Chains A and B, each alone.
Chain A
């Protein structure tokens, strides 16, 4: 009974990441691996997830709720992200301080993948690393196209 409950929890945990943009390309087994390193955090509407200028120690995947990305203390949001979206990846990839502030717009549940675990997964699990790299490349490509579209 306890084992079945635990398996059910694993399945549910895997599903919450399966719907995300970053981990959507992973199979059930790989999702279980990522879940083994992930943490869940809940934020209230208006609560700051991280500030611009901080050293990034984790990347975030939105499971529920919405967050807004603000350029340093600007009231107007640069973007709003909803369930399935991810953020905070640039701090891990570039090893530079956070470039923007992220704030929860409504009560939100986020899955957090710490820097060391993210780097460990990228270094030691080829399938997960290739899938994440592909999704990151697509994500950055979309962002670049959007920027070019805006400037045009």
Chain B
């Protein structure tokens, strides 16, 4: 953005303000943790459907009618999918307890086998009876796991999952009333700052759209790569596993590890006594992670956030420290949006000409309202 021909560069104060504002926003999100996932999903749905709505508006359909049509069609498509997929999903959920324990058992067997193998190679491990210790400790943990932890986890998931229903609801209103909100905001802006505000709103919208659409593209690419790799290795349900791991990767660091653990558990359980399959799955995960970080990410999500890699990594840690897992998920898009707002606010506040124009307009307004008022 230029100001009277010269390019504006934010100073250290603006940068500090951006980082502080990001931490505050994350702190606020921490308090409404349950809203984060439906809100992120709603934003993704909104940015996916917005081009369709725009097409209808460009054909002369009103904003409201276009939003209703597009949301209706999307809901119908989802309902169709749910009708066919729900019975199977319900069946899987009923067996969740048994399935979870089976896969955890498979993972433990793999770990025990790996330790046995290591004990055979390194005598100090055999002397310390590492495998025996692990079996005792994990055995006692999982003996009480089903009774102590599983009901709590299941209850938590059951209580939290209805909030996902908020996602389509939020997405519909974002689609229907987003333009009204934009107009409302712009109407409140004084004339002197109007054009700059247009720029900010466009930039914020562009940053958020690129981020969330990029996230979706990244998920699709990750899913495809993982699914193809797992299918080649010979693991069943490769597409579903790939999708789950790709969605888990939305949470930086932690999500990727969880995804990897999930795939390794499945590989170890479905192929008992063949640790090579599990190791191949780990290798595949590392390869996809590298592809993700160095090829896919810069092509998709990275394009939206024009920031230094060091700052990106530091902010992920800060986000995690301030707001836990939601902080990890949200820190980058929040920082991206706040950077645009902060830089423009810096530009507006440090532009004496815009301030003078605003003061001039206020003086004109003052004179207009006082014109026919005289004191006797």
* Pairwise interchain contact B353-A44, C-beta atoms closer than 8 A: no
* Pairwise interchain contact A48-B357, C-beta atoms closer than 8 A: yes
Interface residues of A (CB under 8 A from B): 6, 10, 29-30, 32-33, 36, 39, 41, 43-51, 53-58, 97, 112, 114-116, 120-121, 124-125
Query: Which of B1, B192, B365 gathers most chain A CB within 10 Å?
Result: B192
| A124-B360 in contact given A39-B183, A41-B194, A48-B192 (Cβ < 8 Å) | no
| A112-B357 in contact given A44-B365, A97-B2, A97-B5 (Cβ < 8 Å) | no
Cα(A150)–Cα(B198), bound, Å: 37
User: Count of B residues near A, CB < 8 Å?
Assistant: 32
Interface of B is mostly: helix
Which residues from A are CB-within-8-Å of B202?
Answer: 114-116
B58 proximal to A (CB < 8 A): yes
* Pairwise interchain contact B58-A39, C-beta atoms closer than 8 A: no
* Pairwise interchain contact A97-B4, C-beta atoms closer than 8 A: yes
| A43-B199 in contact given A29-B60, A53-B5 (Cβ < 8 Å) | no
Cα(A29)–Cα(B4), bound, Å: 38
Interface residues of B (CB under 8 A from A): 1-5, 54-55, 57-60, 62-63, 179, 183, 186-187, 191-192, 194-196, 198-199, 202, 353, 357, 360-361, 364-365, 368
Cα(A46)–Cα(B362), bound, Å: 11
Interface of A is mostly: mixed
Cα(A30)–Cα(B364), bound, Å: 37
Cα(A68)–Cα(B199), bound, Å: 25
New A-B contacts (8) at CB < 8 Å, excluding given A41-B191, A48-B361, A58-B195: A46-B364, A47-B191, A50-B195, A57-B198, A97-B4, A120-B58, A121-B58, A124-B58
Give me 13 A-to-B residue pairs in the complex whose CB atoms sit less than 8 angstroms apart, sorted by A's number. Answer: A10-B62, A29-B60, A32-B60, A33-B59, A41-B194, A43-B191, A44-B365, A47-B360, A53-B4, A54-B3, A55-B195, A97-B5, A114-B198
Contact of A51 among B63, B199, B357 (CB under 8 A): B357
CB nearest neighbor in A for B57: A36
* Pairwise interchain contact B364-A54, C-beta atoms closer than 8 A: no
Cα(A58)–Cα(B199), bound, Å: 10
CB nearest neighbor in A for B365: A44
Task: Kindly list the 10 A-B residue pairs having the minimum CB-CB distance in the complex, ordered from nearest.
Answer: A53-B4, A57-B195, A29-B60, A44-B364, A57-B198, A114-B198, A55-B2, A116-B202, A47-B361, A48-B357
* Pairwise interchain contact B191-A49, C-beta atoms closer than 8 A: yes
CB nearest neighbor in A for B197: A57
Which residues from A are CB-within-8-Å of B361?
Answer: 44, 47-48
Which residues from B are CB-within-8-Å of A45?
Answer: 364
* Pairwise interchain contact B1-A55, C-beta atoms closer than 8 A: yes
Contact of A125 among B58, B186, B195 (CB under 8 A): B58
* Pairwise interchain contact A58-B198, C-beta atoms closer than 8 A: yes
